[in-house]
Amino acid sequence: MTVRARVGRRGAVIAAALLAARGASAHAAERRALPVPDLPGLKTLKGDFHLHTVFSDGDVWPTVHVREAWRDGLDVVALTDHVEYQPHAADVGTDLRRPYDLARGLAEQLGIILIAGVEITRPAPGTVSPWPVGSAHFNALFVPEPAALAKPDLLDALRAARAQGAFVFWNHPGFMGTLEPRWHSHVDEAWREGLFQGMELVNGADFYPAAYPWVEEKKLTILANSDYHVPTPPRGAGPPRPITLVFARSADAEGVREALGARRTAAWLGDEVWGAEEHLRGLWEGAVEMAPARLDARPGQAAVLRLRNRSAIPFRLRVIRSPTWARAEPATVAAAATSLFDIRVAREAPAGTHDVVLELEVSNLNVAPGRKLVVHLPVPVTVRVQ
């Protein structure tokens, strides 16, 4: 290829990326709030730690993902281009520090926490794999020198990440719906050596129920990431964007790093959230308030509670236990709204004031495989027979 042709092709790739950036900017001029309550002593940050740009096999300029994150109400993102796979290298170069450098200024302007990261991809694309496809991909965050991770051996690459103090997680244990999640021998070897600390329980639209037990068994940090290579559709215009909730002591890169290492995260996709019981209970308690404080009812009628949800996460409720004379049907407390919750008082309800406690299952908050968050809703009810 001649120098002129190479320069021309490089210009075309960069021009295409800039056009994509300009188009994305036109659709990312407004930020849509994504309220999620803070926990006591902790700030709840919304993040996406798996994004690709033209510096590997993505189709967007680094700043595009920052604008989209701001538009979608996120607080933190990581740009994680492949160390070994850079099909546009002739056009944009091979320095994987560039995506972070190019996007950092905009991130600072928009208040987005930007994390430097890369993806370790084994085998390198185009080579024969001894492992199932996609089963040896790991993201390394907080990596100042990504070139040092370009090792032929997977474990050597992960060791190089550890030497830089990286936080490392295993990507898509069930790859793009084509691979049944398994705790592979090479993954086990890396885990036993302490070479990774987290796992994507959600990648894109995929949740991996078979991998869910490993979170507690292996003491892994939960992540939910988009793995977007193309412009991200605005919220509501495409599939739900997966989000990692990070419960950080401070809203900065160091706070994110500490929270990831301490396993203070949750995975959020659509209406479903997966996380530790203490964190999901904190979300419920910080989001929902009840009115009125006391209910008056007559036998055979319904007493109506108003449940206000201050978060962008809806809550699906199912009554587990209540007095025999006070019944309630399953209901949803809609996101960022006030919903009605009817308690039907039986005709044989005893007169007087009763300290009713409803035991509820929050069916979309998952605290362990097969186990939902259980909460208690105290509702003083005065039954009037006159």
Evaluate whether residue 332 is within a structural domain. yes
The answer on 323 and 241 residing in a single domain is no
Identify any residues that bridge with 88 across adjacent strands, giving them in sequence order. Answer: none
Distance from CA of residue 140 to its chain's centroid? 17
The CATH number assigned to the domain holding 324 equals 2.60.40.10
Mean pLDDT, range 191-201, rounded to an integer = 98
The answer on 305 and 269 residing in a single domain is no
Q: Where is average pLDDT lowest: 16-20, 250-254, 359-363? A: 16-20
* Residue 231 near residue 252 (C-beta atoms within 8 A): no
Q: Which domain holds residue 325?
A: 287-383
- Number of structural domains (the chain) is 2
178 pLDDT higher than 80: no
The answer on 34 and 157 residing in a single domain is yes
The answer on 187 and 315 residing in a single domain is no
Instruction: Return the pLDDT at 14.
Output: 44
Q: How many CB atoms lie within 10 A of CB 338?
A: 13
The model's pLDDT over 40-84, given as tens digits with 9 standing for 90+, comes to: 999 999 999 999 999 999 999 999 999 999 999 999 999 999 999
The answer on 96 and 204 residing in a single domain is yes
Q: Please, which pLDDT band fits residue 22 given cuts at 50, 70 and 90?
A: low
The answer on 296 and 264 residing in a single domain is no
* Residue 312 near residue 354 (C-beta atoms within 8 A): no
Strand 76-82 relative to strand 43-48, pairing: parallel
What is the distance between the alpha carbons of residues 52 and 366, in angstroms, rounded to a whole number? 29
The answer on 182 and 58 residing in a single domain is yes
* Residue 62 near residue 105 (C-beta atoms within 8 A): no
The angle that helices 185-192 and 154-163 make with each other, rounded to 10 degrees, is 30
Instruction: Return the pLDDT at 1.
Output: 36
The angle that helices 98-110 and 62-71 make with each other, rounded to 10 degrees, is 30
Taking every pair of Cα atoms in the chain, the longest distance, rounded to a whole number of angstroms, is 95
The answer on 124 and 29 residing in a single domain is yes
What is the distance between the alpha carbons of residues 364 and 175, in angstroms, rounded to a whole number? 24
Q: Please, which pLDDT band fits residue 27 given cuts at 50, 70 and 90?
A: low
The CATH number assigned to the domain holding 126 equals 3.20.20.140
The answer on 355 and 239 residing in a single domain is no
What is the distance between the alpha carbons of residues 63 and 281, in angstroms, rounded to a whole number? 35
